[in-house]
Amino acid sequence: MQKEFYYISLFNSKFIGDDGAYIDGMVYSADGFCEDIHFKKEWMSLKQIARKAMLVNISDVIAMNAKPQFALITIKIPKNFTNKMFHQIQEGLAKTAQEYGIEIIGGDTVAGKKLDIAITLVSATKKPIFRKPLRQGYLLAHTGTLGSVKKDLRKLLRGGKVSKKSKFIAPQLRKDFMHRANRFIQACMDISDGLFDDLEKMTRLNKVGIKFLRKIPKRVGCSGEEYELLFAFDPKDYKAIVRRAKQARTKITIFGRVTRRSYRNICKPNHF
């Protein structure tokens, strides 16, 4: 993760630092989904791989309180892929895009040894939510239940199988919760590299620390690719946040408070 911070620091732009770049009412975001880094083909069908590639990109957009509109897709495809396999990838991408109101408007294709999918989304928002401000006293929370993705990944790495409903296969995005609660959320990002890792990104950006209000096991805090929301809110909005979580049928866990003390991530990088 230190290399990621260093690489990003080489680019001097005021728009870098969030899940996407907000410019004049639009959010521009991009994410790659690469074979043997994020998945192995024997773990998922091609349709599932394509769907997850689209979902992990949409997750960034939801975290910024934006609505995705257009997608550009670059895909590296092994030369031995058949027309049937092309259709399976197209179906996973197109159906997921349609589900979220996204129009696929172009991209690029290139031959290669492994399957890689890179997606750029163009989204609109009237009220963008960023990774800052995190002010002293704000409460920190996350949606959903964390830890199952790391558990399922270990099972797959040992040669086992997981349910098609596993969050490793099919992330559960929190669009409805964000729609209902966005006016009370002060800062937000999606949990892609694990709660502890993403907390480091957010606290480093804001130059603050955390006081944990409950113990979070390492197996939970270090579970990557959860794609839940990590967010901060003012304690005065506690009842409003809880009420909207119930309306959206979304579990939330309030686990910390923003302080001046420093914070250090204890997890190793998640990608294998």
Tell me: is residue 263 an annotated ligand-binding position: yes
- Residue 108: its H or E element: strand 103-112
| Same domain assignment for residues 174 and 91 | no
- The response to whether 152 counts as a known ligand-binding position is no
Please tell me whether 193 is known to bind a ligand: yes
If asked whether residues 220 and 249 sit together in one domain, one would say: yes
The CATH number of whichever domain residue 99 belongs to comes to: 3.30.1330.10
User: Are 39 and 76 members of one domain?
Assistant: yes
The CA distances from residue 234 to 48, 62, 211, 212, 252, in Å, are 38, 20, 15, 16, 15
Is 192 annotated in some ligand binding site?
A: yes
Tokens 């955390």 found at:
210
Question: 59 labelled as ligand-binding?
Answer: no
120 and 169 housed in the same domain: no
Residues 28, 108, single domain; the answer is: yes
pTM attached to this predicted model:
0.94
* 83 located within any domain: yes
**Does residue 197 share a domain with residue 171?**
yes
Q: What is the pLDDT of residue 262?
A: 83
* 269 found inside a domain: no
Ligand-binding site membership of 108 (annotated): yes
Residue 225 is labelled as binding a ligand: yes
In total, how many domains does the chain have? 2
SS3 118: strand
**Residue 113 and residue 158 in one domain:** no
Give Cα 94 to chain centroid, integer Å: 20
Q: Token pair for residue 180?
A: 């209902």
Confidence band for 2, pLDDT divided at 50, 70 and 90: low
Same structural domain for residues 174 and 98? no
Residue 169 included in any domain: yes
Domain assignment of residue 185, yes or no: yes
86 and 149 in a single domain? The answer is no
Mean pLDDT of the chain: 94
Q: Is 163 annotated as a binding residue?
A: no
Domain span at residue 151 reads 139-259
Q: CB count, 10 Å around CB of 254?
A: 16
Q: Which three-class secondary structure string do you get for 8-47?
A: HHCCCCCCCCCCCEEECCEEEEEEEEEECCCECCCCCCHH
Residue 217, burial from CB neighbour count under 10 angstroms (0-12, 13-18, 19+):
exposed
Determine which helix (DSSP H) or strand (DSSP E) holds 133, and give its type and residue range. Answer: none
Residue 197 lies in a domain: yes
Note the pLDDT tens digit of each residue in 65-108: 999 999 999 999 999 999 999 999 999 999 999 999 999 999 99
Q: How confident is the model at residue 1 (pLDDT cuts 50, 70, 90)?
A: low
Give the tens place of pLDDT for each residue, 222-270: 999 999 999 999 999 999 999 999 999 999 999 999 999 888 888 877 5
User: 168-181: per-residue pLDDT in tens?
Assistant: 999 999 999 999 99
